[in-house]
């Protein structure tokens, strides 16, 4: 797994997976792993020659669960600096459905921009079904156990994936 590097007021900050876990915990570990891998994909494909500055980063997401939010906030500070927007995007064959939205992300910094969609085949159907079941009022202890098992499978799959095996690049624009 890679490291995520950003600049903030000229100072370089480096974040690894364990930094995100220490900040968020394990409650929404799947969203946290998706945010980490999305940033890794964006950094690898958009910022090959330099790291982004927190002050220039803007993010859009089609799903903003707690793990997604905490991952992006720790590294980019986009949420607290009012540079994060949740957008409505429909699932497609290039963008996986989440329990409440889609796994679509757009990172912008100056003239650079990349839009990503988590590949649908990366998200276990059992995870989405189990998450939705827990959102209802009639779930059982067995439903909770099924969700925990699906959660473990999903986040480990994401973390073990190369960024381009997990995400489709939907659009990319480099400096002109």
Model confidence at 104: pLDDT above 60: yes
32 vs 149: CA distance, rounded Å: 16
Q: List, for residues 34-48, the tens digit of each pLDDT value.
A: 999 999 999 999 987
Is the domain defined by 4-173 classed in CATH 3.30.1330.130?
yes
pTM: 0.91
Question: Do 72 and 116 form a contact (C-beta atoms < 8 A)?
Answer: no
Q: List, for residues 116-131, the tens digit of each pLDDT value.
A: 999 999 988 777 777 7
Model confidence at 24: pLDDT above 90: yes
49 vs 153: CA distance, rounded Å: 34
The rounded Cα 47 to chain-centroid distance in angstroms is: 17
């Amino acid at each position: 797994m890679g490291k995520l590097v950003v600049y903030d007021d000229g100072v370089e900050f480096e974040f690894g997976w364990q930094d995100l876990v220490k900040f968020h915990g394990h409650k929404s570990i799947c969203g946290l792993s998706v945010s980490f891998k999305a940033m890794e994909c964006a950094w690898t494909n958009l910022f090959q020659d330099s790291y982004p500055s927190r002050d220039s980063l803007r993010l859009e997401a089609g799903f903003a669960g707690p793990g997604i939010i905490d991952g992006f906030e720790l590294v980019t500070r986009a949420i607290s600096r009012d540079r994060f927007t949740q957008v409505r995007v429909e699932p497609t064959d290039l963008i996986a459905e989440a329990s409440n939205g889609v796994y679509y992300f757009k990172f912008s910094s100056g003239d650079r921009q990349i839009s990503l969609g988590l590949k649908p085949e990366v998200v276990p159907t059992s995870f989405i079904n189990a998450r939705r079941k827990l959102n209802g009022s009639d779930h059982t202890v067995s439903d909770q156990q099924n969700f925990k098992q699906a959660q473990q499978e999903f986040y480990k799959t994401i973390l073990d994936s190369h960024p381009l095996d997990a995400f489709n690049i939907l659009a990319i624009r480099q400096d002109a």
